[in-house]
Amino acid sequence: MNVQDQVASIDVERAARRLVGTVRETPLVALPVPDPRVSVHLKLECLQETGSFKARGAWNQLSQLDDDERARGVVASSSGNHGRAVAWAARRAGVRATIFMPENVYPNKLAACRDEGAEVVLAATRAEVEERCAEAVARGAVLVHPYDAVRTAEGAGTVGLEIARAAADVEVVLFPVGGGGLIGGSSLAIARELGDEVCVIGVEPEGSPNLTRALDARRPVVIEPITTAVQGLCPMDVGWLNLALAERFVEGTVLLDDEEIFAAQRYLLRHDIVAEPAGSAATGAVLCGALPDELLEGRDEGDPLRVVCVVSGGNADPAQLEAQRARAESGE
């Protein structure tokens, strides 16, 4: 199936029905921001099963395995949240799971995968992680791709579907972008539900501009070297499926430096929202004034731009979180 046929085959509504009773419909909550021209609500996927939106795509994949696939077991490569979600979904489905992870993964994410019963294999580099995972697939295991797969995009796209149905007057939706499955599936769902009037924007670290580079080059681009410290937003590339979705349904991207993302994490902590750095990126785009100027023309407190920021995950490393909490409490 070619990429355009894959795009056409994505059925987010069917995925949403499949997830009922297993995956949570997460809340939209208001967040006060300094700019009176903007009204912000947060989509709190940090409150999702396994602590991130990844549970959606993982369950959409695992729940559809046939008997032969179940017997072969599943594998995934991950820096944390996808691996934990696949391990969780595999345990629920009664399927053997092996997760390939980089050695520098946050210890809490490594432990979470093992606690769910998955075997974890560590590798030194991102490239080696992918190689070891590919070798397992060649031996017969079923790959649960973290982003570049129809079933992953369908599951992740239910985030956008919930936003569209809960906030039909939304004008701008901001998504953190790693591999692009979340923004790809969700942008399609938003467009199908609300039309083309909603502006969807991806937010990436400057040190891992995967979608930005891919849109410029019109092909997936491997970023080497990765220079961001924001784990979860630095995959090998965005893949052809998510690039095709972004080309059709995403307005553009915003790049933030790491400190702008960490500052957004502290801001969320001051408002009692626990998010990991990657999950804070979309909010950071608003807080640092990175929204395109044309979106804010003529807006004021009486008629603010209606924005939803997706908080994609809450599985922060405990040591990193406590350091950020201390800085937040000191007023930084």
Q: Is 209 in the same domain as 227?
A: yes
How many domains, in total, are found in the chain? 2
The pLDDT assigned to 332 comes to: 81
Helix ranges, 139-257 (H): 150-166, 181-194, 210-217, 239-249
Enclosing domain of residue 257: 3-52+149-329
| Residue 309, number of CB atoms within 10 A of its CB | 29
Q: What would the pLDDT profile of 208-247 be if each residue is shown by its tens digit?
A: 999 999 999 999 999 989 999 998 898 889 999 999 999 9
Closest CA to 100 of 76, 127, 84, 116: 76
Q: Is 249 in the same domain as 282?
A: yes
Which residue is it, tokens 């979309």? Answer: 282
| Residue 288, number of CB atoms within 10 A of its CB | 16
The pLDDT assigned to 149 comes to: 95
CA distance 9 to 4: 9
The pLDDT assigned to 169 comes to: 97
**Relative orientation angle of helices 12-19 and 54-62, to the nearest 10 degrees:** 90
The pLDDT assigned to 127 comes to: 87
Residues 132, 110: contact at Cβ < 8 Å? no
Q: Is 44 in the same domain as 117?
A: no
The pLDDT assigned to 9 comes to: 95
DSSP states of 127-171: HHHHHHHHHHHHTTPEE--SSSSHHHHHHHHHHHHHHHHH-TT--
Q: Is 130 in the same domain as 176?
A: no
| Of 76, 109, 143, the domain-final residue | 143
Q: Is 63 in the same domain as 45?
A: no
**Strand order from edge to edge, sheet including 119-123:** 119-123, 97-102, 74-77, 142-143
**Domain with 250 in it: what CATH number?**
3.40.50.1100
| Of 104, 126, 143, the domain-final residue | 143
CA distance 282 to 186: 14
At position 129, the amino acid (one-letter code) is V
Q: Is 70 in the same domain as 116?
A: yes
Indicate the DSSP class of residue 52: B
Residues 313, 279: contact at Cβ < 8 Å? yes
Q: Is 212 in the same domain as 241?
A: yes
The pLDDT assigned to 150 comes to: 97
- Residue 11, token pair as written in the block: 């059925």
Closest CA to 55 of 33, 30, 87, 78: 87
Residues 71, 93: contact at Cβ < 8 Å? no
| Of 78, 110, 143, the domain-final residue | 143
Residues 142, 152: contact at Cβ < 8 Å? no
Q: Is 188 in the same domain as 307?
A: yes
Q: Is 127 in the same domain as 194?
A: no
CA distance 99 to 110: 9
Q: Determine whether 124 is exposed, middle or buried from the number of CB atoms within 10 Å of its CB (0-12, 13-18, 19+).
A: exposed
**Relative orientation angle of helices 210-217 and 239-249, to the nearest 10 degrees:** 80
Q: Is 156 in the same domain as 264?
A: yes
Q: Is 97 in the same domain as 120?
A: yes
| Residue 5, number of CB atoms within 10 A of its CB | 9
Q: What would the pLDDT profile of 73-109 be if each residue is shown by its tens digit?
A: 999 999 889 999 999 999 999 999 999 999 988 888 9
Q: What is the pLDDT along the chain (332 residues), one digit of tens a residue?
A: 799 999 999 999 999 999 999 999 999 999 999 999 999 999 999 999 999 999 999 999 999 999 999 999 999 999 889 999 999 999 999 999 999 999 988 888 999 999 999 999 999 988 899 999 999 999 999 999 999 999 999 999 999 999 999 999 999 999 999 999 999 999 999 999 999 999 999 999 999 999 999 999 999 999 989 999 998 898 889 999 999 999 999 999 999 999 999 999 999 999 999 999 999 999 999 999 999 999 999 999 999 999 999 999 999 999 999 999 999 999 88
CA distance 284 to 306: 16
Q: Is 223 in the same domain as 307?
A: yes
